[in-house]
Structure 1
């Protein structure tokens, strides 16, 4: 485990007095979300990845889904009221959100975008999302995550 350092996500949560547990690990560029879940000692259903899309209207949307699942673009479009959405290009992620690929969190983006989490999140007492930096995850209650990132629940996976 790495020496603990504060990420922007942790600072946001601290500022809002939201309890969380931070986890860090040595990242590997080829690491999958399921491997990260294993490092955390959790099932992949509780570990969520953050995906950023753009709708036909050019608006941006954030989707948070379990790491082993695939975003259903039709369900995602329906959730946000767009005709269609598509994943943004990786090079657009940092300037748009302030986060790099593999370290994108639904908490503390440069701008608040409409954000949706897969509906299974609320069936767990704790979930994990990126802490805003590769190699860092935070564990918190789904309700706290939903509140702090102003997230809506939706059916989002294939």
Structure 2
């Protein structure tokens, strides 16, 4: 199987659900994921179109997924409010793989072991297509934000820290 034909679990889920997407690959070191802005530069696209997937744990013990532009920072207060929690905290890297099936830098909102409430930064709705991890470092999928949000039953809110 050539590198070009390699399918990730995310791509298989999208194929199965008949959701159109475009796969993209980018160069990366061994096991080291570049930051999202570097990924956007490698793909030659605006970082506002590339979304990183962050997993959090609420004060109630529930888990939540947030997809935000790669150059942005998750505002934990806004995020907690968006999911009706008193507070939330970022999940530790070591907890990510057992919970989601994904590694840090290759986490995707699609195809996690369990579907968690997912919130996209509202700017996703302004894009014709967005890029999210294809579930493996070095792989991204580009698809319509509406298709993606429908698939993961996502909502949209302002969950990032103010820039400047």
Shorter-normalised TM-score: what interval?
Answer: over 0.9
35 and 63 in structure 1: CA distance in 2 versus 1, 3 angstrom threshold: same
Paired position in structure 1 for 2:86: 83
RMSD: 0.9
Paired position in structure 1 for 2:99: 96
Among candidates 72, 76, 82, match of residue 75 of structure 2:
72
Paired position in structure 1 for 2:129: 126
Q: Determine whether 1:6 maps to 2:7.
A: yes
Mapped contact 2:34–2:105 kept (Cα < 8 A): no
The TM-score with structure 2 as length reference comes to 0.93
Q: Give the deviation of 1:53 after TM superposition.
A: 0.2
Q: Determine whether 1:137 maps to 2:143.
A: no
Structure 2 Cα separation of the partners of residues 74 and 50 of structure 1: 17
- 1:3 match: secondary structure: helix
Structure 1 Cα separation of the partners of residues 69 and 116 of structure 2: 19
**4+ runs of 1 displaced by more than 2 Å?**
none
Paired position in structure 2 for 1:106: 109
| Cα deviation 1:5-38 (Å, max 9, x = unaligned) | 1001000000000000000122132622111001
Mapped contact 1:4–1:24 kept (Cα < 8 A): no
Paired position in structure 1 for 2:18: 17
Structure 2 Cα separation of the partners of residues 3 and 14 of structure 1: 16
Structure 1 Cα separation of the partners of residues 114 and 150 of structure 2: 16
- 2:52 match: secondary structure: strand
Paired position in structure 2 for 1:63: 66
Query: Unaligned regions of 5+ residues in structure 1, if any?
Result: none
Between stretches 6-15 and 29-38, larger displacement belongs to 29-38
Question: Size of the alignment, in residue pairs?
Answer: 157
Structure 2 Cα separation of the partners of residues 108 and 143 of structure 1: 17
Structure 2 Cα separation of the partners of residues 9 and 106 of structure 1: 9
Structure 1 Cα separation of the partners of residues 91 and 101 of structure 2: 14
